């Protein structure tokens, strides 16, 4: 047999495992026979012992067979362990390492207690050998020494197991025992298979790992599959499963423009749904490392909990299916605002403290080392800004040690920009505000959940849906947190809902602190004002300490120190503390011994009120540049008197003038504060207006657009009706800022901006469609002639509104996750020259509408299924065809329907039959990420001038047949050795692997 060179190390390790197994079996047999008589010399050989104990050649041969079989059985267990960890050790070093183990086993002086007792410990045996032979591996290399130590540990374990397996016997019965043992090979196989494999990551073996994994995942799923219905006090909370109530939201990232301008070599990367308007689950599904950013109350923590539960139950689907083999660990950074960040061995206790003590030693390390860990890290924004560098270093160290670990890290957008973890290989995904469809879905789910409490919700839901037609409420409801508050307030009170978020927070707090208990006749220990005083004090102390939670002892201590300042309160601190936890609906105990606010927004609102009440204006100014203080400063302006607001805003602007590095953030926070301020000197307002117009507009890029949008709907009054004065990219960013700041109110501006013929500006306007009512946006904004612009349709549900849209040149539509899609609204559309359809195989769609498009000449389809084209007439107008991720080998129907196309690009086909293309009048053909048998069928296509096969294409690599063609350009992979290349006269371009053209 011919052995390839790379197999050498494996074969040597197998041979050495056999050698070691034989040694173990021989020693086990010797000690077995020595049990009966202490008179035997320990130096006696197995042959001498057999000669003394066994009569006849047949019995001695049985013993030899038994020892040989045991040696093979031990070797079968040892070989995979050695191969898995040490296949890189040179052959001669591996032999020396195992031989050193053989020698010490032959020379060691072992007592019966060490080896033969019922409670014999292989760890003690290994330590005894190491003490007796301290220089046993002195001459070995570092890797060979590691191999030697593992082999010694395993040898001791197997030796003890085999000796235990061999029974005691009287002299006369030895022959019978040998016969029985020979027939019971399976019993020893089972015993040896349970022998723990010790290593650095498994010092006590792995025999309990699977049992604990099952228990841990079950506990984890139960722990996190709970959803607190914000707006209802604890006693009224229904038992609500997160996985039932979960609402998928949309996300975007910062890579879209780069992908859209990528080469035609990988058009599948152009899919708009891959990064824009796509569900957040799909946006993160293809990544190993994700930084998930979102504003307060946008659903970041809920998403992490849902991922943990679904992964634990192996219930993830779509792009996340591959995560079902992972083991989730949830880390709340708020618990580590101080002190050391958690080590892997702490992860189980953080997620499921109840079973933490049951975890096998180093179990988490083994999970991470195997690449099966899913680390869900929540709340970068909940640690002090100065500590975030330590968080980044902690992540970097963890991933350096365990690079196969999947990680999702969450943060508010202000605390971590899109590039914060770029150096660690993270893709950044940002949660987008809820669309009108999302809002209505959320409202329905909230009321179905509230119905479980026995509440009558039908009329309340109908009333809220009607009120959400008002633009200011729809703007508030775009945040899941604020939408939940609106639902709760509407259910409790039939009066007019708040017009801004300061009113919303105030009414929500009043509802939680007093009104629900009052309506139920529940006696309270404190007045509403008394509760607010205590909660404000706790919130301010947390804010000053850059914390979001306290220990129970700390919280009780703060209450005890505050109560003497409240003469009307005579209740003991412990009783008040318990009352606040049980009845306030604002304070809670997330885990035993820790206290936090039900949502950080309430903490910030109350801290802001306390700062104003206690006149801590200078403290607010000093911290205004910190992202963790943004909301506190903004809401402090809403609580402030006119004089306080003037002092605060003037101080922030003065600080911006003095400190250029902090200027943008400070000016933004001053402008954002005009959203909440009730009364301020006109001169201060004029100063802020001038700063916004002269220093902040226009935003130069998307990240600046997002920060500018933090000003809120007020930003719209600063934006011009015509963007012609701005550079193209700045104008596009201005479009984004307008939508993020004002949503529905921005529509008149967008109707003006769409007339700007610059491609990036018009594209930015088109991309905002998903944030608005589809029909209204189509009629108001997109009805304008869009020229050759590319229309990205957010989902098939938007297709009927295409009838209201003016002329456009290209269309992109994702069919993924949609069973039935009707393309009829596109029928007869003039001017539509290019169409991209993504995920065709997942949808039931009639493609015959393509034949009604008079100007269509460029078609891209991913998830292509050749059978979908049966029954469709030849499309004579199409000249360029791109077919990716094909689910069938055949291209026969495609060759018929697109039979006049001269430019083809096919890819991601496990096997393609090139013979299907011989009747097509091809001039250009790109094949990538595909496999076929031979290039020879292409010889029949005499008009072929350009052929690219440079991107992961597998075949017999014989290009000789192409010599018969008059090729002008041939692109091949620089890393592949082709045959017949010297016979081809065409210009040859070599590329490396996945380069794009």
pLDDT of residue 60: 66
423 and 477 assigned to the same domain:
no
pLDDT of residue 47: 57
Neighbouring C-beta atoms of residue 703, cutoff 10 Å = 15
The least confident of 203-207, 387-391, 529-533 is: 203-207
pLDDT of residue 201: 53
Which of 433, 467, 488 is at the close of a domain?
433
Residue 39, domain member (yes or no): yes
420 and 454 assigned to the same domain:
no
* Range picked from 88-92, 176-180, 437-441 for highest mean pLDDT: 437-441
Q: Are strands 969-973 and 946-954 parallel, antiparallel or unpaired?
A: parallel
Residue 757, domain member (yes or no): yes
pLDDT of residue 727: 94
Residue 243, domain member (yes or no): no
Residue 136 has pLDDT above 50, yes or no: yes
419 and 283 assigned to the same domain:
yes
pLDDT of residue 260: 34
Cα(295)–Cα(290) distance, integer angstroms: 16
Instruction: Name the CA radius of gyration of the chain, rounded.
Output: 36
pLDDT of residue 876: 86
User: What's 311's domain CATH number?
Assistant: 3.40.50.300
Residue 750 has pLDDT above 90, yes or no: yes
Sign of CA dihedral 862, 764, 701, 632: negative
318 and 418 assigned to the same domain:
yes
Instruction: Report the pLDDT averaged over residues 630-642.
Output: 95
Average pLDDT score, the chain = 81
Residue 982, domain member (yes or no): no
Indicate the pLDDT class of residue 44, thresholds 50, 70 and 90: low
Structural domain range at position 102: 7-166
Residue 585, domain member (yes or no): no
pLDDT of residue 396: 94
Residue 976, domain member (yes or no): no
pLDDT of residue 607: 97
Which of 402, 433, 464 is at the close of a domain?
433
Cα(638)–Cα(702) distance, integer angstroms: 28
347 and 295 assigned to the same domain:
yes
Contacts of 963 (CB under 8 A, 6+ apart): 980, 983, 984, 985
Q: How many residues does the chain have?
A: 997
Residue 533 has pLDDT above 70, yes or no: yes
Instruction: Report the pLDDT averaged over residues 703-724.
Output: 86
pLDDT of residue 902: 94
Q: Is 205 left (phi over 0), alpha (psi -120 to 50) or beta?
A: left
Question: Quick one: which H or E segment has residue 221?
Answer: helix 209-224
Which of 470, 497, 524 is at the close of a domain?
497
Residue 483, domain member (yes or no): yes
356 and 467 assigned to the same domain:
no
Cα(924)–Cα(839) distance, integer angstroms: 25
486 touches 464 (CB < 8 A): yes
Distance set, CA 136 to CA 13, 91, 105, 129, 146 (Å): 19, 19, 11, 9, 12
Give which of 411, 475, 424, 477 is closest to 446, Cα–Cα: 477
Q: Tokens at residue 355, please?
A: 């079973």
Cα(501)–Cα(771) distance, integer angstroms: 20
DSSP line for 575-600: HHHHHHHHHSSSEE-SSTTEEEESSH
316 and 389 assigned to the same domain:
yes
pLDDT per position as a tens digit, 835-885 = 999 888 777 888 889 989 999 999 999 888 888 787 788 888 899 999 988
Q: Is 44 left (phi over 0), alpha (psi -120 to 50) or beta?
A: beta
Q: Tokens at residue 876, please?
A: 């004579």
pLDDT per position as a tens digit, 904-958 = 999 888 788 899 999 999 999 999 888 898 999 999 999 999 999 988 898 999 9
Question: Which one has a higher pLDDT value, 979 or 138?
Answer: 979
18 touches 71 (CB < 8 A): yes
63 touches 29 (CB < 8 A): yes
Q: Tell me, what DSSP letter sits at residue 848?
A: G
49 and 155 assigned to the same domain:
yes
pLDDT of residue 799: 92
Residue 632 has pLDDT above 90, yes or no: yes
229 touches 449 (CB < 8 A): yes
43 and 120 assigned to the same domain:
yes
488 and 413 assigned to the same domain:
no
Indicate the pLDDT class of residue 497, thresholds 50, 70 and 90: confident
Domains contained in the chain, number: 4
pLDDT per position as a tens digit, 271-326 = 443 334 567 888 887 788 999 998 877 889 989 999 999 999 999 888 888 898 89
Indicate the pLDDT class of residue 640, thresholds 50, 70 and 90: very high
Q: What is the dihedral of CA 238, 243, 248, 253, to 10 degrees?
A: 120
421 and 468 assigned to the same domain:
no
Q: Tell me, what DSSP letter sits at residue 118?
A: T
Q: Tokens at residue 101, please?
A: 């183990």
Q: Are strands 250-253 and 427-431 parallel, antiparallel or unpaired?
A: antiparallel
The least confident of 160-174, 443-457, 490-504 is: 160-174
Q: Which residues pair with 427 in a beta bridge?
A: 290
Q: Can you tell me whether residue 203 is helix, strand or coil?
A: coil
Could you tell me what percent of the chain has a pLDDT over 90?
Answer: 35
Residue 795, domain member (yes or no): no
Could you tell me what percent of the chain has a pLDDT over 70?
Answer: 82
59 and 137 assigned to the same domain:
yes
pLDDT per position as a tens digit, 586-597 = 888 777 788 888
pLDDT of residue 473: 74
């Amino acid at each position: 047999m011919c052995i390839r060179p790379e197999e050498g190390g494996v074969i040597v390790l197998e041979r050495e495992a056999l050698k070691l197994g034989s040694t173990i079996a021989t020693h086990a047999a010797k000690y077995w026979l020595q049990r009966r008589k202490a008179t035997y010399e320990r130096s006696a050989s197995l042959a001498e012992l057999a000669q003394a104990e066994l009569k006849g050649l047949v019995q001695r041969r049985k013993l030899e067979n038994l020892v040989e079989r045991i040696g093979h059985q031990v070797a079968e267990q040892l070989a995979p362990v050695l191969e898995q960890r040490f296949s890189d050790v040179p052959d001669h070093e591996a032999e020396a390492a195992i031989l050193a183990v053989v020698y010490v086993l032959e020379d060691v002086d072992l007592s019966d207690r060490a080896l033969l007792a019922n409670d014999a410990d292989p760890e003690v045996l290994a330590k005894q050998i190491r003490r007796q032979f301290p220089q046993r591996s002195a001459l070995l290399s570092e890797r060979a020494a590691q191999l030697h130590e593992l082999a010694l540990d395993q040898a001791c374990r197997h030796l003890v197991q085999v000796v235990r397996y061999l029974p005691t016997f009287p002299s006369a019965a030895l022959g019978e025992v040998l016969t029985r043992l020979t027939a019971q090979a399976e019993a020893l196989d089972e015993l040896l298979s349970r022998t723990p494999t010790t290593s650095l990551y498994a010092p006590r073996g792995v025999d309990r790992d699977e049992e604990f994994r099952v228990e841990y995942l079950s506990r984890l799923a139960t722990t996190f599959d709970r959803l607190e219905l914000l707006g209802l006090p604890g006693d009224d909370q229904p038992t609500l499963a997160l996985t039932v109530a979960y609402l998928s939201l949309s996300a975007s990232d910062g890579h879209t423009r780069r992908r859209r301008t990528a080469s035609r070599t990988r058009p599948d990367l152009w899919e708009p749904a891959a990064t824009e308007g796509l569900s957040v689950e799909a946006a993160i599904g293809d990544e190993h490392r994700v930084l998930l950013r979102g504003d307060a109350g946008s659903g970041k923590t809920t998403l992490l909990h849902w991922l943990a539960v679904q992964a634990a139950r192996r219930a993830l689907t779509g792009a996340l299916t591959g995560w079902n083999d992972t083991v989730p660990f949830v880390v709340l950074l708020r618990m580590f605002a101080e002190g050391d960040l958690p080590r892997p061995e702490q992860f189980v206790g953080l997620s499921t403290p109840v079973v933490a003590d049951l975890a096998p030693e180093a179990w988490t390390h083994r999970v991470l080392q195997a690449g099966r860990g899913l680390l869900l890290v929540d709340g970068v924004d909940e640690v002090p800004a100065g500590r975030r560098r330590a968080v980044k270093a902690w992540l970097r160290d963890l991933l350096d040690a365990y690079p196969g670990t999947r990680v999702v890290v969450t943060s508010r957008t202000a605390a971590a920009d899109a590039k914060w973890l770029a150096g660690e290989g993270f893709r950044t995904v940002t949660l987008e505000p809820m669309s009108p469809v999302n809002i209505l879905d959320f409202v329905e789910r909230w009321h179905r959940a509230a119905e479980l409490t026995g509440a009558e919700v039908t009329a309340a839901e109908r009333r809220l849906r009607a009120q959400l037609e008002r633009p200011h409420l729809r703007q508030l409801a775009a945040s899941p947190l604020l939408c939940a508050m609106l639902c709760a307030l509407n259910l409790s009170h039939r009066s007019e809902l708040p017009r801004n978020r300061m009113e919303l927070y105030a009414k929500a707090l009043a509802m939680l602190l007093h009104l629900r208990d009052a309506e139920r006749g529940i006696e309270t220990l404190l007045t509403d004002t008394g509760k607010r005083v205590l909660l404000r004090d706790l919130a301010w102390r947390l804010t000053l300490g850059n914390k979001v939670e306290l220990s129970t002892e700390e919280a009780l201590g703060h209450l005890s120190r505050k109560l003497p300042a409240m003469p009307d309160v005579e209740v003991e601190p412990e009783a008040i503390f318990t009352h606040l936890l049980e009845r306030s609906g604002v304070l809670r105990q997330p885990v035993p011994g820790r206290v936090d606010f039900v949502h950080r927004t309430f903490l910030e609102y109350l801290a802001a009120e306390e700062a104003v009440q206690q006149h801590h204006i200078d403290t607010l100014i000093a911290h205004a540049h910190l992202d963790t203080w943004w909301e506190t400063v903004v809401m402090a302006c809403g609580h402030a008197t006119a004089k306080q607001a003037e002092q605060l805003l003037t101080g922030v602007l003065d600080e911006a003038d003095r400190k250029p590095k902090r200027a943008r953030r400070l000016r933004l926070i001053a402008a954002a504060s005009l959203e909440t301020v009730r009364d301020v000197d006109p001169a201060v307002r004029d100063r802020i207006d001038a700063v916004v117009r002269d220093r902040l507009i226009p935003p130069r890029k998307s990240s600046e657009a997002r920060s500018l949008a933090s000003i809120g709907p007020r930003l719209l009054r600063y934006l011009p009706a015509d963007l012609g004065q701005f550079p193209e990219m700045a104008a596009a960013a201005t479009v984004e800022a307008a939508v993020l700041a004002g949503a529905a109110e921005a529509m008149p501006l967008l109707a003006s901006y769409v007339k700007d013929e610059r491609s990036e500006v018009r594209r930015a306007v088109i991309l905002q469609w998903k944030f608005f009512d589809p029909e209204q946006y189509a009629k108001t904004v997109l009805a304008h002639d869009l020229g050759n612009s590319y229309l990205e349709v957010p989902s098939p549900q938007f297709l009927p509104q295409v009838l209201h849209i003016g002329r456009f040149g290209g269309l992109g539509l994702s069919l993924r996750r949609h069973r039935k899609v009707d393309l009829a609204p596109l029928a007869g559309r003039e001017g539509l020259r290019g169409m991209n359809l993504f995920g065709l195989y997942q949808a039931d769609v009639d493609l015959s509408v393509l034949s009604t498009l008079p100007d269509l000449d460029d078609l891209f389809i991913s998830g292509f299924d050749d059978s979908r084209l049966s029954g469709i007439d030849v499309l004579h107008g199409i000249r360029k065809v791109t077919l990716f991720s094909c689910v069938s080998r055949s291209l026969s129907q495609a060759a018929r329907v697109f039979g006049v196309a001269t430019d083809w690009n096919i890819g991601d086909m496990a096997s393609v039959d090139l013979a299907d293309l011989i009747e097509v009048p091809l001039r250009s053909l790109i094949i990538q990420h595909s496999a076929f048998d031979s290039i020879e069928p292409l010889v029949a296509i005499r008009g072929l001038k350009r052929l690219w096969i440079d991107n992961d294409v597998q075949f017999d690599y014989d290009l000789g047949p192409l010599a018969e063609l008059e090729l002008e350009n041939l692109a091949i992979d620089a890393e592949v050795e082709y045959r017949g290349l010297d016979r081809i006269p065409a210009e040859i371009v070599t590329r490396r692997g996945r380069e794009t053209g």
